[in-house]
Amino acid sequence: MIVSLIVAAAANEVIGRDGDIPWHLPGDLRRFRRLTSGHAVVMGRLTHESILSRLGRPLPGRTSVVVSRTLREAPGVLVAPSVPEALRIAREQETGGQIFVIGGASVYREALDAVDRVHLTRVHQDFTGDTAMPGNWLDGFTEVSREGPLEESGLTYSYVDYVR
C-alpha cells in the first residue's frame, strides 16, 4: 500500500491562510481530483469542514477518513482519533493500492514518516499565511518528475513528485 501526501505549497512553504488556500488554481484542483478519485483520503477535522463548506458534502468518489478527537461521527466519512488509526482504517478501506493524506498541516506533520510519495504543487512565489509545511519536510525524498512551470490565475507553479 502506497501512502501519498498531496499538497500545494508556496515557495515559502505556506499552505493556508484563515482556513483556506491562499490562491485559486483550477488546474491544480483538477489534478487533485484526478489523482485522489477512487482512493481513500485522510484529513483533519478542519480540512473536512472546509470541504463541507465548499462542496456541501464529503469528497465524491473517495473514502474520507477524518482525524478528530472531538468529532464522533459524521455523515459519509469515517472518523479516527489519531493519524496512525486513520491510516490503518484507510488501508482497510482502500482497494486501489494508494492512500492520500490531504491535510491540514498537523495531519501532514504526523503522517510524514509514513509517507512513500509526495505530489507537490509548488507555487513559485511567497505568500502570507498562518499555516505552513514544516522546515526541511522534503528531506529524505527524491524528485522523480516535474511538470511546468505552468501559469494560471496570474501565478506560476509546477507539479513535482517525490518518492522516498
Per-residue pLDDT tens digits for 94-117: 888 999 999 999 999 999 999 999
pLDDT band at 151 (very low <50, low <70, confident <90, very high): very high
Distance CA 92, CA 7 (A): 23
* Percentage of the chain lying above the pLDDT 70 cut: 100
Tell me, what's the pLDDT at 146?
Answer: 98
Tell me, what's the pLDDT at 95?
Answer: 82
pLDDT band at 59 (very low <50, low <70, confident <90, very high): very high
Sheet containing 2-10, strands listed edge to edge, beginning at the edge strand earlier in sequence? 77-80, 63-67, 40-44, 98-103, 2-10, 117-123, 155-163, 142-152
Cβ contacts of 79 within 8 Å, gap of 6 or more = 65, 66, 68, 71, 72, 73
Give pTM, 2 decimals: 0.95
Is the Cβ–Cβ distance between 118 and 4 less than 8 Å?
yes
Domain spans of the chain? Answer: 2-163
> Measuring CA to CA, which residue among 103, 32, 107, 27 is closest to residue 62?
32
pLDDT per residue as tens digits for the range 5-16 = 999 999 999 999
Distance CA 162, CA 16 (A): 21
Distance CA 22, CA 44 (A): 18
Residue range 15-42: mean pLDDT, rounded: 95
Domain 2-163 class, CATH top level: alpha beta
The 10 Å Cβ neighbour count of residue 47 is 23
pLDDT per residue as tens digits for the range 60-102 = 999 999 999 988 777 889 999 999 999 999 999 988 899 999 9
Question: Computed over its alpha carbons, how large is the radius of gyration of the chain?
Answer: 15
